[in-house]
Structure 1
Amino acid sequence: LVVKRYSAEPRRMMGLPAVPVEEGKPADFILFDPEAETTFTTAFMKSKSRNTPFLDKTLKGRVDLVVLGDAVLLER
């Protein structure tokens, strides 16, 4: 249900074709741990602005891996 809600469903709502995961084909994906905790610090921020209510707050959930095609963009 979670995978469908955050991957296939947005594509369907925007009228985009489904993108199947197939062996040997490029894939864009993330690995998310809903049980982990993350403290949001300025290290997460890419903007010069520091206006956020989440600064120094501990949040539930953590992105552990981001893959875009052949490139690993984030790995914890």
Structure 2
Amino acid sequence: MNVLTEWTTLACRELGIDPSAVDRDALLDLTKEVAHGVTRPAAPLTAYLLGLAQGAGTAPSDAVERLTGLARDWERRAGGETA
């Protein structure tokens, strides 16, 4: 078992989350897009916001898709300014 899988399993157990409900690859792809397209500190913040959205009832796949699009289009939306 690799470290990431082991960590995910242990963290899910600690939080009472079914590990099969976590799309690790989608989350990692999202945070990569945010880190490279917006700014690195925005990646963990975005992951947290995604969790809040899911807790509020937003479908995870929909939220990931929307946030990925936002990150990819960040420079245009932000007027070319980056943080």
> Structure 2 length normalisation: TM-score?
0.29
The structure showing larger relative contact order (alpha-carbon pairs under 8 Å, at least 6 residues apart) is 1
Q: Which structure carries more helix by proportion?
A: 2
Larger Rg: 1
